[in-house]
Amino acid sequence: MKTETPVVKYLADYKAPTHKIETVDLEFHLDDTQTQVFSKMKITPVNGNTLELNGEELKLKSVKVNGEEFSNYKEENEILTLTGLPSEAFTLEIHNEINPKANTALDGLYKSGGMFCSQNEPEGFRRITYFIDRPDNLSVFTTKIIADKKDYPFLLSNGNLIESGDLEDGKHFAVWNDPFAKPAYLYALVAGDLAVIEDTFKTKSGRDVKLQVFVDKGNEEKSHHAMESLKKSMKWDEKRFRLEYDLDIYMIVAVDSFNMGAMENKGLNIFNSAYVLASKETAEDRNFFGIESVVGHEYFHNWTGNRVTCRDWFQLTLKEGLTVFRDQEFSADLNSRSVCRINDVRNLKAAQFPEDAGPQSHPIQPKSYIEMNNFYTMTIYEKGAEVIRMYHTLLGEEGFQRGMDKYFELYDGQAVTTADFTHAMSVANDNYDFSQFRRWYDQAGTPVLDITTKYDEAAKEFTLTVNQSTPATPGQPTKEPFHMPFLLGLLDSAGNDMTLALKNRDDQNDLDRGLLHIKADTETFVFANVNERPVASLNRNFSAPVVLRSDLTDEDFVFLMANDNDDFNRYEAGQALALKNIHAMLKDENHQVDELFIKAWGSILNDNNIDEEFKAVCLSLPSMIDVAATIDIPNYRAIHEAKDKLFKLLANTYKLELASIYNDLSTERPFKVDAKAMGERKLRGFVLACLSTVEEHKELARECFKYATNMTDMMNSLSVMVNENLPGCQESLKEFYDKFKDQTLVMQKWLSVQASSCDDTTFDKVQELMKDEVFDMNVPNLVSALIGSFARNKVQFNHESGRGMKFIAEMIRKVDAINPQSASRLAGAFNDYRKMPADLKEIAKAELTAIVESDKTSKNVYEKLSKTLN
Ligand code: ARG
Ligand code: ZN
């Protein structure tokens, strides 16, 4: 039984720190199991002479105040409390010991392969030494690292290298100083025997910045794409946001064992190697894209996160929502803007909407947490980015950029709140009124817009009635209406946008941009001079992150698919139609798929005026999660079968056209990593998946695999073979393994594709793969690739026998003992607990209750699963 319930932290309890650590000089004597840490801090008291320092898993050796031994302290509940301290500035020296090798949680200082590295956001630094480990304590850090020279030729920390040299016994040292005061979560240390590639970037003011990417030896050739992405990021931020880099050196280090994607430590980013390493033989296009966007994301944090940081962790979206918005814009400026937007929204709907509709639902600015690591969520990040995007839509690019300039003018060098961001946006734009808009920070749940339309032929008027509502979420039974920017167009029968004129309202000013403001529960907009019945294109570009329900007809959707001047809505219209058909198929096995839809799908397929990638996304069917979203108790197997049936029908109807597109795209062409080439490979992969369901093309995937010269084609064909159980599947898996078994990133793909198959053999397969030498439970990427993929495999996780969820419950327990963050992510598989059929729910309940009640369960898993059961 759990003996004590973990402590809940509340935003409302925020208190300013009692002391400020002005400077800290750290000295590390690196050792696998007994690293010595000496910390010398210059501290200014702000309020009182009792100081509480955070410290976890530390062995305290000595404490000195102003150079004298000090014993007026006690250590309790991971807090070191020092009392009777001087009321003037003083120095505090602490010596403690840590065990990096035992740190399988990968939080604080740990070992990844042979190297030392660190991850301190949000609260890892307290596992290195005693500190005021909160983001509103900004200190200047100096670090001396001492280690064996042969094993650790590179010794890195934040800022500039100011000294280095040899010591006796084969040791050496390096001293780094970061002139920018920063919170401890941005601190980093790396020591290892690495390879490095170098370049330089000349900033807009003419300074040369040295750029370095550190990787395991032998991976140099795979790090150029990351380096190129870094240079593009630096250039883009100067151009679009006027932001220049501020140190003389920028380092990226790739590590194999990492809990998240990457970390923006000042001047020394540490990356999951999955977001650094890429070659055409080992990385898919989505990996190339992901590297560009994550390198950009971490770089953009230098201003939005580091120069202006968060006052407390409840403000996380201040830096994450904003930085995701910035990285999305970066990707959109460098690639196809429409496709980027479609993919971002697809991602939001597939992962954030369900989060917001389930037991973990929280506002982008949460009000409480037990374990902060549980709040690096789709909501804080992706919905947070949607909220920033809404400022952008409301203010326009110019107004938004004025707000950004104001933000840095007011808050550079400070730790601030989301309200400060809103303030900057407002004062830079004639005191724009964001008071109602602020509800986006406080209310959870995805708002629903119910829209009805009416055309009055005689009066030439078109009326749009918009009703908004937001479902209850944990702790928030009722909601106030949101202020949302709603972009719309009215199309005439030729497909042109009509000029908009509102009859009943005076807020006409944004109409030329097609922008309506939705504020009240119910809004009515009457458009005048509408000479024919228009087709309304609603919520263009997904301007408000909502669920939309409207009275548009199937004919309207078909019209929008073909004619909308907003690419996002062309895509969305197709999704809406597909979704309608899948729902109808679920209700009635004999449902005849709508001819209209089949035709419209074919028109997109045969349209020579749309580029390949846009075509591929428009033709893709809605995800299982999209389908399940509106069903109380979804039957995932049935959803899978319905989707499958529809997919086969479309593929068979258009098999000739598909085959001809496939052939066109199969002509030899040089490998490039640009939007055009990636789009072509994406469409080719999509068409291959279609054709593989057609009897006469069952051998095609194996062919494609055999002659593939890049990983995108290889994985596209391999996943089709695995999912459809096609001829050549087993040989291909074996060949793939033999070729890549020494490359863990590629093996992650191999594990994941097998664990994702809906086939009933997958369960046994996963048990077998866990014993394979390429698998390692200590590495989060591998846990996610194999066990995580199975946990996300809706059909197999929800297997009627209960074996899928029992297995994942067991894995949560096992992984939790190693790495609570990794385990907590697996626990997300139970988020649709309340939507499970009764017998499965019974099984889940027993498993989850046992975990929640166990004394061994981490705070991370406890918080997630106790909310799930609630
Ligand atoms: N700030 C990082 C990023 O978004 C994420 C680090 C979070 N790490 C964690 N262990 N929760 O770029
Ligand atoms: Zn981030």
Alpha carbon distance 64, 26 (integer Å): 15
Eight-class DSSP state of 635: -
Q: What angle do CA 727, 729, 734 make, to 5 degrees?
A: 140
Alpha carbon distance 481, 476 (integer Å): 13
Q: Does residue 613 surpass a pLDDT of 70?
A: yes
Give the residue-averaged pLDDT of 153-159: 99
Q: Residues 784-842: pLDDT tens digits?
A: 999 999 999 999 999 999 999 999 999 999 999 999 999 999 999 999 999 999 999 99
Distance of CA 856 to the CA centre of its chain: 29
Alpha carbon distance 308, 416 (integer Å): 7
Residue 52 structure tokens? 């509480």
794-800 own/partner pairs: CB under 8 Å, 24+ apart = 794/624, 794/625, 794/628, 794/636, 794/639, 794/640, 795/636, 795/637, 795/640, 795/758, 796/757, 796/758, 796/760, 796/762, 796/763, 797/829, 798/636, 798/637, 798/836, 798/840, 799/760, 799/763, 800/839, 800/840
Give, for 76, the enclosing helix (H) or strand (E): strand 73-76
Alpha carbon distance 166, 530 (integer Å): 81
- Ligand 2: centre distance to CA 261 (Å): 9
Alpha carbon distance 406, 424 (integer Å): 5
How sure is the predictor about 151, in pLDDT bands with cuts at 50, 70 and 90? very high
- Asked if residues 627 and 583 have their Cβ atoms less than 8 Å apart, the reply is yes
Alpha carbon distance 49, 231 (integer Å): 48
Sign of CA dihedral 784, 790, 791, 792: positive
Query: Is the minimum distance from the CB of 824 to ligand 1 under 6 angstroms?
Result: no
Strand 19-29 to 139-148 pairing: parallel
Alpha carbon distance 544, 483 (integer Å): 9
Query: Is the minimum distance from the CB of 364 to ligand 1 under 6 angstroms?
Result: no
pLDDT of residue 175: 99
Nearest C-alpha neighbor of 827 from the set 795, 863, 865, 855: 865
CB neighbourhood size of 415 (10 A): 20
Query: Is the minimum distance from the CB of 320 to ligand 1 under 6 angstroms?
Result: yes
Alpha carbon distance 816, 407 (integer Å): 40
pLDDT of residue 520: 97
Nearest C-alpha neighbor of 516 from the set 492, 494, 537: 537
Residue 768 C-beta-side C-alpha neighbours within 13 Å? 7
pLDDT of residue 1: 66
Nearest C-alpha neighbor of 754 from the set 806, 706, 716, 789: 789
Region for 211 from its dihedrals, namely left if φ exceeds 0, alpha if ψ lies in -120 to 50, beta otherwise: beta
pLDDT of residue 505: 80
- Ligand 2: centre distance to CA 623 (Å): 26
Query: Is the minimum distance from the CB of 377 to ligand 1 under 6 angstroms?
Result: no
Query: Is the minimum distance from the CB of 376 to ligand 1 under 6 angstroms?
Result: yes
- Asked if residues 305 and 264 have their Cβ atoms less than 8 Å apart, the reply is yes
Alpha carbon distance 870, 862 (integer Å): 12
Q: Residues 351-381: pLDDT tens digits?
A: 999 999 999 999 999 999 999 999 999 999 9
Residue 161 C-beta-side C-alpha neighbours within 13 Å? 15
- Spatial neighbors of 789 by CB under 8 A, at least 6 apart, are 751, 752, 755, 756
Nearest CA to ligand 1 atom 2: 263
DSSP string, 381-412: IIIHHHHHHHHHHHHHHHHHHHHHHHHHHHHT
Nearest C-alpha neighbor of 137 from the set 186, 89, 78: 186
- Ligand 1: centre distance to CA 822 (Å): 13
Is residue 858 helix, strand or coil?
coil
pLDDT of residue 594: 93
- 767 bridge partner residues: none
pLDDT of residue 504: 81
- Please report the atom of ligand 1 found closest to the CA of residue 376: 11
Q: Does residue 780 surpass a pLDDT of 90?
A: yes
For all residues of the chain together, what is the average pLDDT?
98
Alpha carbon distance 436, 426 (integer Å): 13
Query: Is the minimum distance from the CB of 262 to ligand 1 under 6 angstroms?
Result: yes
- Ligand 1: centre distance to CA 121 (Å): 6
pLDDT of residue 3: 75
Give the residue-averaged pLDDT of 49-67: 98
Residue 310: Cβ-neighbour burial (10 angstroms; 0-12, 13-18, 19+): buried
Nearest CA to ligand 1 atom 6: 263
Q: Which of 268, 376, 377 to mutate to test the pocket of ligand 1 (most atoms within 8 A of CB)?
A: 376
% of the chain with per-residue pLDDT over 70: 100
- Ligand 1: centre distance to CA 111 (Å): 18
Question: What per-residue string of b and e applies to 168-198 under the rule 16 or more CB within 10 Å gives b?
Answer: eeeebbbbbbbebbbbbbbbbbbbbbbeebe
Q: How far apart are the first and last CA of the chain?
A: 18
How sure is the predictor about 854, in pLDDT bands with cuts at 50, 70 and 90? very high
pLDDT of residue 454: 98
Cα–Cα distances in Å, from 595 out to 292, 578, 599, 652, 861? Answer: 41, 12, 6, 14, 48
Residue 440 structure tokens? 């986006």
- What ipTM, to 2 d.p.? 0.98
pLDDT of residue 455: 98
Nearest C-alpha neighbor of 754 from the set 804, 788, 803: 788
Q: Residues 250-262: pLDDT tens digits?
A: 999 999 999 999 9
Give the residue-averaged pLDDT of 509-519: 93
Query: Is the minimum distance from the CB of 775 to ligand 1 under 6 angstroms?
Result: no
pLDDT of residue 5: 83
The lowest-confidence range among 1-5, 221-225, 536-540, 642-646 is: 1-5
Ligand nearest to the CA of 259: 1
pLDDT of residue 509: 75
Cα–Cα distances in Å, from 146 out to 37, 170, 532? Answer: 10, 11, 78
Q: Is 198 a catalytic residue?
A: no
Ligand nearest to the CA of 265: 1
Sign of CA dihedral 249, 250, 251, 257: positive
Give the residue-averaged pLDDT of 229-256: 98
Sign of CA dihedral 682, 683, 686, 691: negative
Residue 44: Cβ-neighbour burial (10 angstroms; 0-12, 13-18, 19+): exposed
